[in-house]
Chains A and B, each alone.
Chain A
Amino acid sequence: GDSVTQMEGPVTLSEEAFLTINCTYTATGYPSLFWYVQYPGEGLQLLLKATKADDKGSNKGFEATYRKETTSFHLEKGSVQVSDSAVYFCALITMNRDDKIIFGKGTRLHILP
């Protein structure tokens, strides 16, 4: 079945460091890909998404490119801030599968001042 694999956390970085959180997927069909973020004490929020190969999603300085050839959707940010500390979830949805989102396990990110 469809699945999402993302790098284990926690990831700890200093402020202004470059961030990469890896995400790969397996899916039959043509999924859309998402990154959701969960700040402490809150629910999940959509961070960015891409709906087809080579699309780049971007928001709040974060970017991810839908790479069909490597079945990847890695999350990147050039200069992280303390306020980026959160749990990040990679996810996919294939619209012919009853709109069910498949989430990765989440990667906890700690940014040190």
Chain B
Amino acid sequence: ETGVTQTPRHLVMGMTNKKSLKCEQHLGHNAMYWYKQSAKKPLELMFVYSLEERVENNSVPSRFSPECPNSSHLFLHLHTLQPEDSALYLCASSQRGQETQYFGPGTRLLVL
């Protein structure tokens, strides 16, 4: 079961393109997360939003720009990406003070 949706599920983009990934949670949570999952590295936490404020930015390059307009939606804006940015980008949500995070299915990104 998942109350977290992500679109698109697959994305191919050139290095000069601008695109956005979207995440929506239907669980009434107040914290949302972006993770990067690539083949050769463990899950990397990129950004954390709590109560719509960014509380974590794990040294992510500025070509990734998150946006959290409300507690149910989270975006990741992409521009001038590099081929090494190709990965599965996972969104998750949780209720602050509770431990379990709920993940979306991810967006598989390929940068050419």
Contacts and interface: CB of A to CB of B under 8 A. Distances in A.
Interface of A: 32, 34, 36, 41-46, 49, 51, 89, 93, 95, 98-101, 103-106
Contact of A98 (B2, B43, B56, B101): B56
Contacts of B61: none
B42 A104 contact: yes
B66 interface: no
Nearest to B42: A105
Contacts, number: 52
30 contacts: A36-B103, A42-B105, A42-B106, A43-B6, A43-B90, A43-B104, A43-B105, A43-B106, A44-B103, A45-B2, A46-B100, A46-B101, A46-B102, A49-B99, A51-B99, A89-B43, A98-B48, A98-B55, A98-B56, A99-B31, A99-B48, A99-B50, A99-B96, A99-B99, A100-B48, A101-B45, A101-B101, A103-B43, A104-B42, A106-B42
B97 interface: yes
Contacts of A104: 42
B4 interface: yes
A100 B45 contact: yes
A34 B100 CA distance: 9
Contacts of B45: 100-101
A101 B103 CA distance: 12
